[in-house]
């Protein structure tokens, strides 16, 4: 998921962990509502794990936004009872905007679509890394 203070972009993978597809963006008001709505979505999707984008600075440092996401992830972990991982989300929104432009999508007023696209890009990266890690573990 691409967490934000007002919107949360969501994506889900297929059972094999190959394809990431967008879910509707959640409009939220406050962290408590965000936790409750995301936990509901996790149950509806029957997700067995969650990946939350960690907004690091371009240098890789953790700032205030990263600390807020870490607090949110902790609350979500308690609320839904599934593993919650944090994954570097640097440049996922820029990638989502570029993808929208490439297919002729509108960016103006389409922030929810950018959030969806960022969640898809984030999940694609996490899935690819997980596959690489598994392949490397099998070779050892």
Report yes or no on 2 lying in a domain.
no
**Domain carrying residue 47:** 7-139
CATH number at 45 reads 3.30.420.140
DSSP string, the chain: -B--SSEEEEEEE-TTS--EEEEEEEE-SSHHHHHHHHHHHHHHHT-S-EEEEE---TTS---HHHHHHHHHHHHHHHHH-S-EEEEE-TTHHHHHHHHHHHTT---TT-HHHHHHHHHHHHHHHHHHHHHHHHHHHHH-
Domain count, the chain: 1
pTM, full prediction: 0.80
Does residue 79 fall inside a structural domain? yes
Domain membership of residue 1 (yes or no) is: no
- Residue 39 resides in a domain: yes
- pLDDT value of position 95: 55
pLDDT tens for each residue of 73-88: 999 999 999 999 999 8
């Amino acid at each position: 998921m691409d967490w934000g203070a007002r919107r949360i972009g969501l994506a889900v993978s297929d059972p094999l962990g190959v394809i990431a597809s967008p879910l509707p963006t959640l409009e939220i008001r406050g962290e408590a509502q965000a936790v409750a709505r995301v936990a509901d979505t996790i149950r509806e999707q029957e997700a067995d794990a969650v990946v939350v984008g960690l907004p690091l600075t371009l240098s890789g440092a953790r700032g205030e936004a990263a600390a807020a996401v870490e607090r949110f992830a902790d609350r979500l972990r308690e609320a839904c009872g599934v593993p919650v991982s944090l994954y570097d989300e640097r440049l996922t929104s820029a990638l989502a905007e570029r993808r929208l432009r490439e297919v002729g999508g509108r960016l103006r007023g389409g922030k929810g679509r950018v959030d969806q696209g960022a969640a898809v890009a984030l999940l694609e990266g996490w899935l690819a890394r997980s596959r690489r890690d598994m392949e490397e573990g099998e070779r050892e």
